[in-house]
Structure 1
Amino acid sequence: MMIKLLCFIKNNFIKFSILFLFLLSSNSYSQCAGSGNTITICDIQNPVNSNINLFSLLGGSPTAGGVWIDNSKPLEESIFNGILDVQKIKNSGVYTYTYVQDPSVCTNNTATITVNIGPYSGVPSPNVSTCDDVESFNLFSAFDGTKIAPQQNGTWKDSNGVVLLGNTINPKTLGEGNYSYTYTVPALATCPAQSATVFITVFRKPVSGVASNLILCSTDNLALYKNLNLHDRLSNEDAGGRWADVSGTNQITSTNDNKIDVENIYNTRGAGIYSFVYTVLSSNPICNNTQSTVLIVIEEPLNFTGSTLVVNSDICENEIATATYTATLRKGPQAIPDGNYDVSYRISNGTTTNNITVNGNFVNGTFTFNVNSIYLQAVGNYTFTITNIINKASRGACSNILGTISDVLTISPLPKINTATIKIDPICKGLAAQVEISGNTNLSNGTYRINYNLSGDNTATNQQLDITVTNGVALFSIPANLIPNVGTNTTFSITNITNLTTGCTNTSTLSKVFTVKALPNVAAVTVNANNICLAQTATVQLSGLGSLTNITVDYSLTGTNTLSNQTVTLTVNAGNASFTIPASALVNAGNTTVILNSILDNSNGCSAVALNKTKSFLVNSIPTNPATNSFSFCKNDLKTIANLTPSGSQYQWFDSVSSTTALSASTILVTGNYYVKEVNSTTGCESGRTVIAVTINESDAPILATDGQNFCGLDQPKVQDLSNRTTVDDALVWFDALQNGNQLAANVLLKDGMTYYGYNFTSSTNCYSNALEVTISLSNCDVTPDFFTPDGFSPNGDMVNDTFRIPKIEFIYPDFALEIFDRYGNVLFKGNKNKLEWDGKNSDYKIGIDGIAPNGVYFYVLHLNKGNKKPVQGKLYLNR
Structure 2
Amino acid sequence: MVKKLHFFIKNHFIKFSIFSLFFLSISSYSQCTGTDASITICDIQNPVHKNINLFNLLGGSPTAGGTWIDNSKPLEESIFDGMLDAQTLRESGIYTFTYVQDPSACADNEATVTVKIGPYTGVPSPNISICNDVEAFNLFAAFDGTQLAPLQNGFWTANTTSLSLSGNIINPKALGVGTYSYTYTIPALENCPAQSASVMVSVFRKPISGEPLHLRICSTDNMSAYTNLNLNDRLSGEDTGGRWSDLSGTNEITSSTDNRINVQRIYNTFGAGTYNFVYTVLSVNPICTESKTQVEIIIDKPLDFTGSTLVVNSDICENQIATANYIAILKRGLQPIPDGNYDVTYSINNGTTVNSFTVNSDFLAGDFTFNIDRVNLPVIGNYTFSITNIRSTTSLNVCTNILGTISDVLTISPLPSVNNATVTIDPVCKGLSAQGEISGNTNLTNGNYRITYNLSGDNVVSNQQLDFTVTNGVGLFTIPANLIPNAGTNTNFTITNITNLTTGCINTASLSKVFTVKPLANIAAVVINVNNICVNQQANIQLSGLGSLTNITVNYSLTDANVLSNQSITLVVNAGNANFTIPASSFTNAGSTILILNSILDNSNGCTAVALNKSKAFLVSAIPANPVSNNFSFCKNDLATIASLTPSGSQYQWFNSVSSTTPLNSTTLLVAGTYYVKEVNTTTGCESGRTAVSVTINTGDSPTLDTDGHIFCGLDKPTIQNLSDKTNASGILYWFDAATNGNQLTSDVVLTEGKTYYAYNFSTATNCYSDPLEVTVSLSNCNVTPDFFIPDGFSPNGDQVNDVFRIPKIEFIYPNFSLEIYNRYGNLLFRGNKEKPEWDGRNSDYRIGIDGIAPNGVYFYVLYLNKDNKKPIQGRLYLNR
Shorter-chain TM range is: 0.3 to 0.5
* Structure (1 or 2) with the larger CA radius of gyration: 2
TM-score by length of 2: 0.44
